[in-house]
Chain A
């Protein structure tokens, strides 16, 4: 398993550089294909946690063809997927959609993360120079203009985007150089433009007016139902802060799984009066952890008043129709009453359509405006993951995005 690192690979063949430069310039050969990596079956992986995970798949998952237990390792991807070789051969969808290619990548990414190579991609850049603007048109442009270490292989990209997708997804929706344009060319509706304009009024105040005339308090970003994203350290959120250097931010993580206490190794619960655990990263960024459900917190009223110019909600893969459904039912009322934009992300196309159908068929759907139609999130994670109880299903974090908001006027039936 050799690791391709650019300085080494070039020092091996320094003399054909002139030719290769021209050829590659014309052909735009991105030579990111890293074919040298070996695919280990998870059962025989050198890393114990992957062997355990393979065992979990074998106990939990059911074969998509025969609905029996999984007992056959796909020879291409190295992941146990089907009951037997016959079932694997019969699964037409699996072969037609080339799902094994995705599963192979899952396998390679997981091994790469454990390989102990140098993770240069986690060396983050500092402040953005005033003269250089940041491009938010895609990941590559973003990394280049922010001067990250070059993400030369897909493994670099997968590791970095898995972490940065949360702050940069937020930034890409409210930044002035947001890649999402208004209908019919883009996913943004007219109501969406109104909400984003309100937020940008705060983020980019007019130079004619006195600074601080409008902003009496920091901008609040609520991450409701926070799970993974609340474990991200402050310097990852600071990458968001660098994109808006003139504004102060409070990140509010809301949900029972939002604060992982490393001392007790469990999800801590703050005291019952709903007071948050506050971590101050620096002048600009503070992180607040509310370990209650959103509707409980909303009823306490500590977060009032909500202001559409200063507050915005993000629901990263909420799973409206999963076991949490009763809580989301109660929370939706508060989300809509706040009149602030609410962004929802999903793991894949099917997932975001499920979330949207829940919203549109809900009792409160008359009170709701869609701000952004479901669309592929440009700053989704490029790392492909696997569902343990259905190993032929893959997903990517924040792959799809939509937005809604409570109606800003009384709904009148005509």
Chain B
């Protein structure tokens, strides 16, 4: 039995062509409105929070905590030259 979509019965509670909700169905649903709204905010807060946390971490991290192996200035300039010649 399909769960998603308009229930097969109760079809009279929507306009047959536009599927617009009738006033009767508005009244039926009105008592769930506040709880649904709270639920909506709770559910959207999870992915939104993950996204914002990731964004924050990526923008503020300067990767300074990653240890750079000790290297002498001579070798560094050599490597830089090698890198620029390859380009």
Contact = CB atoms under 8 A, between A and B. Distances in A.
Contacts of B33: 28
Contact of A28 (B10, B17, B26): B26
A6 B13 contact: no
A59 interface: no
B60 interface: no
B16 A7 contact: yes
Given A140-B28, A147-B9, A32 B23 contact: yes
Given A10-B20, A14-B18, A150 B13 contact: yes
B24 interface: yes
Contacts of B9: 129, 132, 147
Nearest to B15: A10
Contacts of A143: 24, 28
Contacts of A7: 15-16
A151 interface: yes
Given A6-B15, A147-B9, A30 B20 contact: no
A151 B13 CA distance: 9
B10 to A, nearest CB: 6
A228 interface: no
A24 B26 contact: yes
A30 B23 contact: yes
B35 interface: no
A357 interface: no
Given A6-B15, A28-B30, A30-B30, A144 B24 contact: yes
A344 B16 CA distance: 43
B26 A144 contact: no
Contacts, number: 65
A25 B37 CA distance: 11
A141 interface: yes
B24 A152 contact: yes
A144 B31 CA distance: 13
Interface string A133-149: 00001101101100101
Contacts of B27: 30, 32, 140
Contact of A149 (B12, B21, B28): B12
A32 B12 CA distance: 17
A69 to B, nearest CB: 42
B15 A140 contact: no
Contacts of B24: 140, 143-144, 150-152, 156
Among B10, B20, B27, residue most surrounded by chain A Cβ atoms (within 10 Å):
B27
A152 B15 CA distance: 12
A147 B10 contact: yes
Nearest to B27: A140
B68 to A, nearest CB: 55
Given A7-B15, A28-B33, A150-B12, A21 B25 contact: no
Contact of B18 (A17, A24, A151): A17
A31 interface: yes
A121 B31 CA distance: 23
A119 B29 CA distance: 24
Contacts of A156: 24
Interface in A102-156: 129, 132, 137-138, 140-141, 143-144, 147, 149-153, 156
Interface in A141-199: 141, 143-144, 147, 149-153, 156
A49 interface: no
A30 B26 CA distance: 6
B5 to A, nearest CB: 16
Nearest to A152: B23
29 contacts: A6-B22, A7-B15, A10-B15, A10-B20, A14-B17, A17-B18, A21-B20, A28-B26, A30-B23, A31-B23, A31-B26, A32-B23, A129-B9, A132-B9, A138-B31, A140-B27, A140-B28, A141-B28, A143-B28, A144-B10, A144-B24, A144-B25, A144-B28, A147-B9, A149-B12, A150-B12, A150-B13, A150-B23, A152-B23
Interface of B: 9-10, 12-13, 15-18, 20-31, 33
Interface of A: 6-7, 10-11, 14, 17, 20-21, 24-25, 28-32, 129, 132, 137-138, 140-141, 143-144, 147, 149-153, 156
Given A144-B10, A152-B22, 9 more contacts: A10-B15, A10-B20, A20-B20, A21-B21, A28-B33, A29-B26, A150-B22, A153-B23, A156-B24
